[in-house]
Amino acid sequence: MASSPPPRRRQADATEPKSTKRKPTPRDAPKPKSKRARLTVDAAESSQVTCLDEYRLPLADGDAFYVPSIVDEATAQQWHDELVNLDEWYRPTLKVYGKDVVQSRKIAAFATDRSLELKYSGHPVKMSYDYPPLLRKIQDLVEARTGCLYNHVMANLYEDGGVYIGKHRDNRENRVIASLSLGQPRTFILTHTHPPPALSTSAPSDVPPTAPPHSTSSSSSSSPSDPTDPPPRPPAPALVYTHRSTLASGSLLVMQGAMQQHWKHEVPREKRACKGSRISLTFRQLVF
Ligand SMILES: O=C(O)CCC(=O)C(=O)O
């Protein structure tokens, strides 16, 4: 494989975990050399989700899917209630305008590869390399459902509607992010970073997207349909530049391709409407 240029440095973002290479110290036990994330990869090195086309969101320049339920609500709640007791949860410290600030949202990070290390807003992420059995079982399910393997999972704990994640994008080294929601449903907003000024439009996912005026179908109003005709194809949905939806408990949201390049995402604060606790498990195929 051809050697790749180092990744371009980008401005730190408090909500954006950064891959990093830790300097070895003489006292470190022998450990595989840590690897650093990079943007240039062979196509064969990363796979993409190809089996969820019926769940595709109608986003301009974006490859994202929303599966309303990969596990029933009772099981999703049971998984939430078990995972909320993990020892690995902690509140990371963020650098905000040069000051250390403790984040309200707890996180827990796991990796399948001991050489994978990350930085989160300038601080090393406390990475665990031993998966709790339930998390491994859930990852197996997500891998089977999406046809992709993941080497990292970042879990987020939103203890109530006051806990949120601001508008951000993740590193592009995250080739696929498959996010399983457990517990309290929460609003999720996707925003294109460069919408065309005149064309910006949005479609809530709860409402079927409107068909473009030129959409075709095999039947037309002027000719009666022939019973031997194939059934009309559903019209192609209009592409949108913002998208607001509710992530249900047990649902899976997948982002891949150019999503982190052209779109930002957020789970806004909903103090009044959301009293319950939610966990998101963001399974990541991180190229490094
Ligand atoms: O909790 C979620 O659904 C979103 C999490 C997120 O945006 C992230 O981990 O980057």
pLDDT in tens, 121-171: 788 999 999 999 999 999 999 999 999 999 999 999 999 999 999 999 999
User: Rounded to the nearest 10 degrees, how much is the dihedral formed by the CA atoms of 67, 50, 202, 207?
Assistant: -40
CATH numbers and ranges of domains, the chain? 57-205+236-286 (2.60.120.590)
Rounded to two decimals, the pTM is 0.79
Contact 79, 134 (CB under 8 A): yes
Ligand 1 atom closest to 170 (CA) = 10
Is 214 labeled as ligand-binding? no
Q: Return d(Cα 236, Cα 216) in angstroms, integer.
A: 8
- The predicted model gives 180-187 an average pLDDT of 98
Interacting residues of 133 by C-beta distance below 8 A, sequence separation 6+? none
Q: Hey, which of 79-88, 165-174, 231-240 has the most confident mean pLDDT?
A: 79-88
Distance 68 CA to ligand 1 centre (A): 16
Is 38 labeled as ligand-binding? no
Ligand 1 site, residue 284, Cβ cutoff 6 A: no
Output the residue whose Cα is nearest ligand 1's atom 10. Answer: 170
Is 80 labeled as ligand-binding? no
Contact 169, 265 (CB under 8 A): yes
Q: Return d(Cα 233, Cα 226) in angstroms, integer.
A: 15
280 alpha carbon, distance to own chain's centre: 9
Ligand 1 atom closest to 17 (CA) = 10
Is 156 labeled as ligand-binding? yes
Which runs of E-coded beta strand occur in the chain?
17-19, 63-67, 93-96, 99-102, 106-111, 118-120, 123-124, 127-128, 152-158, 165-168, 174-183, 186-192, 242-247, 252-256, 263-267, 278-286
DSSP 44: G
Is 40 labeled as ligand-binding? no
| Joined tokens for residue 279 | 């966990």
For the chain, how long is the longest CA-to-CA vector? 81
The residue with greater pLDDT, 178 or 43, is 178
User: Rounded to the nearest 10 degrees, how much is the dihedral formed by the CA atoms of 138, 36, 20, 18?
Assistant: -60
Ligand 1 site, residue 171, Cβ cutoff 6 A: no
238-257: b (≥16 Cβ within 10 Å) or e: bbbbbbbbebbbbbbbbbbe
| Residue 277: predicted pLDDT | 98
pLDDT tier at 35 (50, 70, 90 boundaries)?
Answer: low
| Residue 236: predicted pLDDT | 79
Interacting residues of 278 by C-beta distance below 8 A, sequence separation 6+? 80, 157, 158, 181, 182, 183, 184, 185, 186, 249
Bridge partner residues of 235 (DSSP): none
| Residue 287: predicted pLDDT | 87
Bridge partner residues of 187 (DSSP): 246
Tell me the pLDDT of the chain averaged across its residues. Answer: 82
- Least confident interval from 30-34, 153-157, 234-238: 30-34
Amino acid at 173: E
Q: Is the pLDDT of residue 269 over 90?
A: yes
- Which of 280, 281, 284 for mutating ligand 1's site (highest number of atoms within 8 Å of CB)? 280
pLDDT tier at 95 (50, 70, 90 boundaries)?
Answer: confident
Q: Return d(Cα 168, Cα 174) in angstroms, integer.
A: 14
Interacting residues of 48 by C-beta distance below 8 A, sequence separation 6+? 63, 148, 175, 176, 256, 257
Ligand 1 atom closest to 181 (CA) = 3
